[in-house]
Structures are given as C-alpha cells and as structure tokens.
C-alpha cells in the first residue's frame, strides 16, 4: 500500500479515533487516502496552535495519546502547544507535512528546517526519508510518547513520501502503547522499604501529587496510601482532581498557583514531604519556598524521570511509575498508625474547617455580587461530580483551583501551567469533549486568552460539541497588571493601560456570531441560574461575566498577599487575605 494509507492504517491499529488538524497543500495526498478511513475522525480547527492544545486536552481527559497534524507553512504555529506538552509530559504525536526535501535549498515556498524547531521541545523528532520507514517510526513514536517520562513526538513527512510504497507485512502495532503509561515500572524494593520506614517514623507527613500522578492513573493508589497511613494530601494545580478535595485528609491545591496560605502553611509545618509525579517546579512550590528547599526538610520523591529525582530538593529518590510504587509502599507499611500522626491529621482538618467557615462568611458578605470567588463556588455546587474542566491561566485558573472543591477523583482538569501560554481553554475543551462525549465539559476562559483562540468557537459550533464556556472579562491582561502592582506596591498610573488594557468587547455577540448560545450574568444568582440552564441544554454555550482586574482585586496568590500586606493593601484582597 502507499505511505498515506500505511500511516492511517498504523494510527487505526493504535486505536486513534480523532486527529486534530488544519489543511495544507503539502498534506493533500494524505487527505485523499483518509476517505477510506472513516473510523479516524478528522477534527479541523482554525489555527495550528489550537490543534495541539486540542490534542493536549484530549490526552489529559482520556489517557490516550493525543494526535494532531499541520502543514509545512503552519508548523511554526504549533510550537507553543508542543512546548507545553513537553514540559507537562503529555503524550502526543505531532505530524507536519513538508515540501520535497530536495527543494528546500531552492527556496521552495513554505519549506524550512522543521527539525531544528521541534528538536528542543519534543522527546524525539523524525524526518521520514522514504515511505517504508513509516510503520517503524509510528511504532517508535507511540512507544516513546507513552514510556518513561511521557511527552510529544514530532514526525515530519515530505509530501512526495505519501505516494511511495510500503510493504504490507510492516503494518503491525504494539497496542499497549496506545495509552499511557505504555509500560509500568516500580521502584526497587529496597527503596520502597526505605520510604515505608520514613513514612512510619514521621509525625506530620504530607503527600504532594503532581501531574505525573494523573498521567499514571494513580488516584486510587494515592487514596489507599493516604488513608492507610493518615497522610495529608495536596496537589499541584496541574494535578487538581487527583484526590477528593472534600476528603478529611485533603489540603487541596498547594504552591503559587491555586494554593492558599492555609494549605501552604500545612506543607511548611510537615516533617516529611512525599513528592509524587511532581517536577517540583516554581509554581508547585511557590518558588521553592513551600516547602523551603533550603530548610533540609525530610523528603521522598517518586518519579519516572531520573532527571527530576532530587532536582530541587534533597530527597530519598524512588524511580518508578507513581501508581505501582505507591501500591508497593502501601504493602510495606506497618498495620498501625502512630496516634501522633492521627492527631496531626485531626488538627489539620479542624484548621481546614475553620478556614472553610471563613470562606462561607465571606461568600455571604458578598451578597449577590458577581465575584470570582462566588463564581468558583457556584461551579462547585452546580457542575456534575464527574465534569471535566479545561482552564486558561489567570483568574479563570486560580480561583477555581483554590475554591472549587472537586469531590470525585480522576482525570478531572486540564490546566496548562507547565508553560502557561494563553489561548488554551477553548481548544483544550474541544479536545476533552471529543474524547469524553458523554461527560460535561466546562471551559474557563480568560478574555486575554479569548483573543488568541476565538476562531475555535466556529470549530465547536461546527462540530456541535456540548461545551459550556465561562468567560472572565476584566478588559485587560490582568495578570500583568497584578504583577506590576505588587512589585511596585502602588497603584498603577492611568497611562499604564497602554501596555495591558482592551477596548470594551461584546463577547456574547461574538459567540452568537459563531453559532453558540450566548449569555451574560451580572450577579451570582443569575450566573447560577444561567449555568444550570447551560448544563441542561445541548450544544455549545458561552457565559460572559465581568470582573475586576487583578490590580484592583488581588487573586489568591500567596506571594502577592505578602507584598500587599507589607504595603498595607490587604483591603484589596477578596478571598484569601485579611477579609476572611
């Protein structure tokens, strides 16, 4: 068969049912062959960057490899999404077509050195030099994407390759690599025994779960170990949903994005930190201050990547899959839990209950005013317990991360805080809904991000996807304003808006113009009513709410509150500062 059919045959064997892409002249031969493969849906988008974010959301929602493609001229547009996937360890196959390689030095239109661009942001990048290579490279790509430290793999296919012949006997797959982890490994038994001893002898242990826990499907193993050993559990923002946030042992999201002073304080007072599938990056640790990397805190780290073990903290390193290693440690723990540790867990719960009481009082004090905090709580009590959330950076991320408690664990969220590029939630929600057609998918969108991805509203309408988008309209790149405000410890001058502020935009009209149902909500009760209506109505919807910019209402970012407190500006805090 020809190489185009060989490629699609290989994808079919690896259980690929959806590919996100944008057409180009260098890929036309592949599209002709695609007519014979109705089992693989082609999800056309409006921007190659969005195709990658769609594949990212799909992978995070399903545990399957995300697949996207783009033409030679659009390959550079895919970089932000691929860089995010690499940093976040998201398994993905990224296909780009190209002009014939022997024409690139002749200045052939759209031809350039794709390999140099993708080399630094993927696990591997391949250039197909003859059609017969395709089956081998597809097998290698799935194996690479789903094994060890997962990540994206790039495959560059010159347009003349698609018509070359491929031997039929090369068309076979190793299906276990169609999902991740493709192969599981456990830490060495001696290392797990050492970890079990550390846990047994600790009085105040805290487990911090990163996105590697979600990739591993380790939520049941996390809960088993936590309950057996009375270990408090927090998560990074990218792993939100790995542990039930209403559980007595939960401290919710920790760190600089979505973490609260209360939760970070628990981490700081622990005598043992167990990092599981966490890169211990700046966002997850509040700039390596929670826990303090210089404090010498006793720590265990479980990770599939040897490069992450002990990268930022002195740790007992355990190299292995999160789920298998946690299960192994749980079996080695003694049956009894020290009373001192149970007392620590009870005290932590009491502190959490007091904190939640302050939050309830704060919500009551807001009355019916629309506020990012009340929006987060309305989402908590309105959305189904298995809803999936795709979330943009900014206030659309930190308030729900901190204050929307997810009671059911699993693959629940797609945040992109490995890199944090804008324009993520709209396409990521499309990918998630494609992979989870029977589940509620909610996209939490910032108005800054909206400008990057608004064209994909046509995509969601064309595909008829039942997605509800909630758009936070603060008429600016508010995070920049907030950062500058807490850095200067003073109000921004009126002309600072030339760097950050938008004109007034009617997002409801824009959404309706693309074929969505549009709604506005000017109060908390109206937002709850509209959200309930949207979640019981088929088709794509967008709800626009207006909020204050981050320099006017500081969001719950721990180091921002410290800046504000030092400047006597706590009154600007609305959900994690002096008011509660």
Boundary (domain end) residue, out of 312, 346, 380 = 346
pLDDT in tens, 394-435: 999 999 999 999 999 999 999 999 999 999 999 999 999 999
Is 351 domain-assigned? no
In Å, how far are 156, 210, 233, 284, 512 from 236, measured between CA atoms?
Answer: 34, 5, 10, 5, 36
DSSP strands (E only) in 202-284: 205-209, 232-235, 250-253, 272-276
27-54 in b/e form (b: 16+ CB < 10 A) is bebbeebbeebeeeeebebbbbbbbbbb
> For residue 162, what are the domain limits?
3-178
Question: Do 140 and 147 contact (CB within 8 A), yes or no?
Answer: no
For the chain, how far is it from start to end, CA to CA, in angstroms? 67
pLDDT of 348 > 70? The answer is yes
User: Quick one: how many helices (H) and strands (E) in the chain?
Assistant: 23, 18
| Domain identity same for 391 and 487 | yes
| Domain identity same for 204 and 174 | no
Is 579 domain-assigned? no
Is 158 domain-assigned? yes
In eight-state DSSP terms, residue 493 is P
Is 249 domain-assigned? yes
Question: What pTM did the predictor assign?
Answer: 0.95
CA pair distance 544, 534, nearest whole angstrom: 12
Number of domains within the chain: 3
Question: Do 188 and 248 contact (CB within 8 A), yes or no?
Answer: no
pLDDT category at 338 given cuts 50, 70, 90 is confident
| Domain identity same for 37 and 124 | yes
| Domain identity same for 328 and 374 | no
| Domain identity same for 542 and 395 | yes
| Domain identity same for 103 and 170 | yes
112-126, 165-179, 478-492: lowest mean pLDDT where? 478-492
pLDDT value, residue 567: 63
Is 353 domain-assigned? no
pLDDT of 572 > 70? The answer is no
Average pLDDT score, the chain: 94
Is 171 domain-assigned? yes
Q: Span 426-447, mean pLDDT?
A: 98
| Domain identity same for 376 and 332 | no
| Domain identity same for 463 and 427 | yes
Question: Do 22 and 74 contact (CB within 8 A), yes or no?
Answer: yes
| Domain identity same for 237 and 161 | no
| Domain identity same for 411 and 298 | no
pLDDT category at 485 given cuts 50, 70, 90 is confident
Is 261 domain-assigned? yes
13-27, 304-318, 432-446, 559-573: lowest mean pLDDT where? 559-573
Question: Do 12 and 175 contact (CB within 8 A), yes or no?
Answer: no
| Domain identity same for 138 and 170 | yes
Boundary (domain end) residue, out of 346, 377, 406 = 346
CA pair distance 245, 45, nearest whole angstrom: 35
CATH code (residue 497): 3.40.50.970
pLDDT of 576 > 50? The answer is no
Most confident range, picked from 98-107, 148-157, 253-262, 555-564: 148-157
């Amino acid at each position: 068969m020809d190489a185009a059919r060989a490629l699609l045959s290989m994808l079919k064997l690896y259980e690929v049912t959806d590919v996100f892409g944008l057409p180009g002249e260098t890929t036309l031969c592949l599209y002709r062959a695609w007519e014979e493969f109705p089992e693989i849906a082609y999800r056309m988008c409006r921007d190659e960057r969005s195709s990658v974010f769609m594949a990212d959301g799909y992978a995070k929602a399903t545990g399957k490899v995300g697949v996207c493609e783009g033409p030679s001229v659009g390959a550079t547009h895919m970089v932000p999404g691929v860089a995010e996937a690499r940093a976040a360890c998201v398994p993905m196959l990224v296909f780009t077509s190209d002009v014939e390689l022997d024409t690139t030095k002749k200045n052939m239109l759209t031809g350039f050195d794709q390999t140099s661009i993708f080399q630094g942001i993927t696990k591997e990048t391949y250039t197909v030099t003859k059609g017969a290579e395709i089956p081998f490279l597809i097998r290698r790509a799935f194996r690479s994407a789903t094994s060890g430290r997962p990540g994206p793999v790039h495959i560059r296919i010159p347009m003349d390759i698609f018509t070359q012949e491929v031997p039929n006997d090369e068309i076979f797959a190793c299906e276990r690599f169609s999902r991740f982890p493709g192969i599981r490994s456990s830490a060495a038994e001696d290392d797990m025994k050492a970890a079990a001893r550390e846990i047994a002898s600790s009085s105040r242990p805290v487990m911090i779960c990163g996105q590697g826990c979600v990739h591993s499907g380790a939520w049941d193993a996390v809960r088993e170990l936590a309950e057996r050993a009375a270990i408090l559990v927090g998560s990074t923002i990218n792993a939100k949903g790995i542990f039930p946030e209403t559980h007595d042992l939960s401290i919710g999201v920790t760190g600089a994005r979505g973490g609260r002073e209360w939760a970070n304080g628990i981490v700081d007072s622990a005598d043992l930190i167990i990092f599981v599938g966490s890169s211990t990056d700046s966002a997850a640790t509040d700039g390596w201050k929670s826990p303090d990397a210089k404090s010498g805190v006793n720590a265990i780290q479980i990770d599939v990547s040897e490069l992450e073990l002990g990268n930022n903290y002195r740790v007992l390193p355990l190299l292995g899959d999160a789920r298998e290693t946690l299960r192994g440690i749980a079996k080695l723990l003694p049956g009894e839990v020290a009373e001192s540790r149970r007392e620590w867990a009870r005290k932590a719960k009491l502190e959490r209950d007091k904190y939640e009481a302050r939050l309830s009082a704060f919500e009551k004090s807001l009355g019916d005013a629309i506020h990012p905090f009340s929006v987060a709580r309305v989402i908590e009590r309105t959305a189904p317990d298995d809803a999936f959330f795709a979330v943009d950076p900014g206030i659309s991320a930190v308030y729900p991360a901190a204050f929307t408690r997810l009671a059911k664990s699993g693959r629940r969220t797609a945040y992109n805080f490995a890199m944090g590029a804008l324009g993520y939630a709209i396409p990521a929600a499309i990918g998630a809904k494609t992979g989870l057609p029977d589940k509620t998918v909610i996209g939490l969108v910032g108005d800054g991000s909206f400008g990057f991805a608004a064209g994909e509203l046509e995509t969601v309408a064309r595909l008829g996807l039942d997605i509800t988008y909630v758009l936070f309209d603060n008429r600016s790149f508010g995070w920049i304003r907030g950062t500058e405000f807490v850095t200067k410890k003073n109000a921004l001058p009126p002309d600072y808006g030339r760097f950050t502020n938008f004109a007034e935009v009617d997002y409801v009209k824009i959404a309706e113009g693309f074929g969505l149902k549009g709604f506005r909500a000017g109060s908390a009760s109206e937002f709850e009513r509209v959200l309930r209506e949207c979640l019981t109505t088929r088709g794509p919807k967008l709800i626009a709410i207006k909020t204050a910019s981050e320099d006017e209402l500081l969001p719950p970012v721990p180091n921002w509150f410290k800046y504000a407190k030092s400047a006597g500006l706590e009154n600007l805090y609305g959900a994690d500062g002096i008011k509660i």
